[in-house]
Chain A
Amino acid sequence: MDRIKTKNGIQDIILTALFVLLIVAVPLVLLIMPDRTFSASERRYLAERPSLREQNITEWNFDDAFEEYVTDQMPLRDLFVGVNALFIRGTGRQVSTDIFADNEGYLVEAPVSYDTEETERRIKKIAALGEKTGLIPEIIAVPSAGYARAEKLPAYLSCLYSDGEVFDTIASCEGVNVIDLEKTFLEEGSDWYYRTDHHWNREGAYTAYVRWCEQTGREAASMESFLTHRVSGFSGSTRSRSALWLTPKETLYLYEPQCHVTVSFSDDNSVYDSLLFLGHIGEYDWYPAFIDGNHPLTVIKNLDGDKEDVLIMVKDSFGNTLVPWLVPSFGTVIMIDPRYYRGNVSDVCTQYGATELMFCYSVERIANDTNLLLVK
């Protein structure tokens, strides 16, 4: 038989009440509130309530599925995740194995390991394409933010970045024209990257454009000669991956050349008249505001440009913010993303009468992306 004693200190009653309130409030909220289907901050669909009827007794995973469901549907989930991120950061650890926060609060991707031979294989593929098309491929490899901002990270972390090896490998390869960003980005020490996203920012992409102009004998247009839209409240990929919500959101500068353009995509029948797709602002990912994000093949016609000048740009998402600077120099720019495009790049070069061939990639992808091995 239980005996219930009630003569107790107020402290015990308060703690008991508070604890019971906490553990009862959560299931009540779960019961009352409708389930959320998508988490914008995590950019993924949340788990749905598992059904007992679909369970097989010998391959039982109801317990795991249910835990995933309640964890995903936990009230104030983002707050909890953020508190945990702060706690981990506050106790000296990096929030995750793939995002580091540097001294200035920039969230940069953790280093990736590279294999010299693998990098060489990819550059040789690029050079071979050059030989086939009769064009010398220009390579713009963007250093990772952690490598370029090395001095902002503690030495025990910055020493882990080996982008330098990739740059050395690329430089040692023949048959390509390297637009060197390594020195510029490391030495000029400006902010080339977003604080909350792994991509380079307007200044980063513009600097690459200036270097490209210098090396190809062109005169760079001024940044001011482009139309710029300023949008505040940008929260990029590294911020959502780290859940360090106290990292302030930042300003996104969207720019486009003052020339008449048409844009069309291989996987979409419409023709657009702007490089910017401002409809993406306000969505969970704003980066596709540039050129509508990644498409297999994008055709940009500069109606004011010289029809003879045709650029084929093979790229990952870093190319999307470089392309607005390049468009005024060409009549046509074709962007190809080998992650989605399965045709021959050389055929595209022939079809459009390419006069220049460029590869714009992050160091990580130029060294590791297997799709680059399929480029021909």
Chain B
Amino acid sequence: MVFSSITFLFIFLPAVLLLYYAVPGRFRLAVLFVCSLVFYAWGEPLYVLLMIASVFINWGFGLLFGKVPSHTKPILILAVVFNIGMLVVFKYAAFLMNTVKTLIPFPAGMQVPDIRLPIGISFYTFQILSYVIDVYRGTVKPNRDLIAFGAYISMFPQLIAGPIVRYVDIEPQLTDRVLSPERFSKGIGLLVIGLGKKVLLANAVGKLFSTLSADPVGSGPLGSFVALLACTFQIYFDFSGYSDMARGLGEMLGFTFMQNFDHPYISASITDFWRRWHISLSSWFKEYVYIPLGGNRKGKGRQIVNILIVWLLTGLWHGASWNFVLWGVYFGVILIMEKLFLLKALKRAPKWVGHLYACLLIMIGWGIFSFTDFSAMRVFFASLIGIGTEPLISKQALAWIVGYLPCLIVCAIASTPLPAKLNGGISTRGFYKTLRNIVIVILFLLSVSSLVSDSYNPFIYFRF
């Protein structure tokens, strides 16, 4: 089930809220756990068993740490191998075998297995890993309550597209939460703004991107450039919209999740960008991969290697395809260059240079990200610099772009901190708060209208 669906907003959500608030406090986590399983099973009736098994086994690993404190390392290794193993089998097996097949032909009869990706497996596996590693490190105590642990892993607001909530951050909230109309209305605000970002902005510019990029040669270099811009906005509003919705739903249920995005498109460098984009993922890799590898404490050479490893993995995490690997390495290399000399140079240059530099590199990154097919990617980038295209822009592309210009402008403004500033500045005063609430209701109705009208609703972040 996705948040931006009528089923979720008008069937699932009211049912969950009704149940959650109707039962006594001590049963709420059980309600949450069961509802989350229903939420997952709705679209994945088979793979929900995989998730339940994962919950059981990792809950067991947690208990084991407490039972045999003398052998925690083998338990950790076992737990990590199990969880990464699940991810490899269900996400990367076909990709790995296809890659091997191109190098060494398979014997007759041997085939690449056809395994469909279980939705959200990358997200919940990383949450589980944060739990077992932190229990091993002694940062948190193992959770004896299967219901609470299950509710944490399967919690529907962040189950299928994050943010990746670390157990250490959520642990106190599993036992103590505050519910109030104030939090609930804050949650509504976040949910509706997220919904609007996804439905009214991301889906709209997504249409522009898919149309223009379907025939990059025909669209011309300018058409392709706007396609890339549309794609840049689509990915951001799609993903950050989803994170906002997750946070909003969390607030409604009494949970606070970390902010996953901090206006990434105003970054002045790629280093800055990755502090603002998908923060929960970057901090996960930093905490559980980069620092354990030695981070920057073992000399420049080792640091560069560590950065490359982290970014190779970050790329792979985004999808089982070589373009994601390329995308990860692309950012790894840029980040290394920034560490070595570029950041210093950027600091000396006027501010706009950094912004322009960051924007262009980010956009090129999304170009790599969006094409799993390398020949299509090549055609697209060639058209960007005018290779193989005739006019600067085709009549058709121009017609699309003119129509979508207001959308693109709204996206550009919404990417800056301006709306948040406006919202923060007025939220305390009565009249403006009423106005803000009216805007929220209108946004909700507009989003619902769009959902009712439009069957075009693919969630980009489902691949992971």
Report which A residues bind B (CB closer than 8 A): 1-6, 8-9, 11-16, 18-20, 22-24, 26-27, 30, 57-58, 60, 62-63, 66-68, 70-71, 74, 77, 80-81, 83-85, 87, 91-94, 154, 156-157, 159-160, 243
Contacts and interface: CB of A to CB of B under 8 A. Distances in A.
A278 B110 CA distance: 68
B201 to A, nearest CB: 11
B178 A5 contact: yes
B437 A15 contact: yes
B177 A3 contact: yes
Nearest to B180: A5
B345 interface: no
Given A5-B178, A5-B179, 5 more contacts: A16-B188, A67-B5, A71-B6, A85-B453, A93-B404
Interface stretch (B91-99, B259-267, B444-452): B444-452
Q: Chain B interface secondary structure, helix, strand, loop or mixed?
A: helix
Contacts of B180: 4-6, 8, 12
A70 B452 CA distance: 9
Given A67-B7, A71-B6, A92-B403, A156 B395 contact: yes
A27 B178 contact: no
A20 B11 CA distance: 12
A2 B22 CA distance: 12
Interface residues of B, number: 64
A71 B182 contact: no
Nearest to A81: B453
B458 to A, nearest CB: 12
Interface string B199-220: 0100010000000000000000
Contact of B181 (A16, A22, A57, A70): A16
Interface stretch (B39-47, B124-132, B136-144): B39-47
Classify the secondary structure of A's interface with B.
helix
A20 B17 contact: yes
B372 interface: no
A44 B367 CA distance: 39
B7 A80 contact: no
Given A1-B26, A24-B14, A84 B453 contact: yes
Contacts of A93: 204, 403-404, 406-407
Contacts of A77: 452
Given A2-B25, A5-B179, A156-B395, A84 B188 contact: no
Nearest to A52: B45
A63 B449 contact: no
B441 A18 contact: yes
Given A9-B182, A80-B453, A3 B406 contact: no
Nearest to B447: A84
A22 B444 contact: yes
A12 B406 contact: no
B177 A156 contact: no
Contacts of B186: 12
A254 B159 CA distance: 60
A5 B184 CA distance: 11
A8 B451 contact: no
A94 B403 contact: yes
Contacts of B25: 1-2
17 contacts: A1-B25, A2-B178, A3-B178, A5-B179, A8-B182, A12-B181, A12-B182, A16-B184, A16-B188, A23-B10, A30-B10, A60-B45, A62-B42, A71-B455, A92-B405, A93-B403, A159-B395
B296 interface: no
Nearest to A77: B452
Contact of A11 (B1, B437, B451): B437
Nearest to B407: A91
B7 A70 contact: yes
A2 B175 CA distance: 8
Contacts of B28: 2
A160 B395 contact: yes
Closest 3 CB pairs of A and B: A12-B185, A84-B449, A5-B180
A176 B178 CA distance: 82
Nearest to B427: A11
Contacts of A15: 185, 188-189, 437, 440-441
Contacts of A14: 437
Contact of B449 (A5, A81, A154, A156): A81
Most buried by B among A2, A12, A60: A2
B392 interface: no
B430 interface: yes
B452 A81 contact: yes
Contact of B396 (A5, A20, A84, A160): A160
A74 B452 contact: yes
A74 B179 contact: no
Given A60-B46, A160-B399, A71 B178 contact: no
A85 B178 CA distance: 41
Interface in B425-447: 430, 433-434, 437, 440-441, 444-446
Given A26-B10, A80-B448, A91 B406 contact: yes
A18 B42 CA distance: 28
B402 interface: yes
A361 B459 CA distance: 42
B446 A2 contact: no
B188 A6 contact: no
A6 to B, nearest CB: 7
Interface in B9-23: 9-11, 13-15, 17-18
Contacts of A13: 181, 185
A12 B252 CA distance: 12
Given A20-B17, A67-B5, A83 B11 contact: no
Contact of B9 (A6, A23, A157, A243): A23
B280 to A, nearest CB: 25
Contacts of B145: none
A80 B402 CA distance: 26
Contacts of B46: 57-58, 60
Given A1-B176, A12-B184, A27-B11, A67 B406 contact: no
Interface string B395-429: 11011001111110010000000000000000000
Interface centre among A6, A15, A16, A24 (most CB of B within 10 A): A15
B254 interface: yes
Interface string B58-88: 0000000000000000000000000000000
A30 to B, nearest CB: 8
Most chain B CB within 10 A, of A14, A19, A24, A91, is at: A19
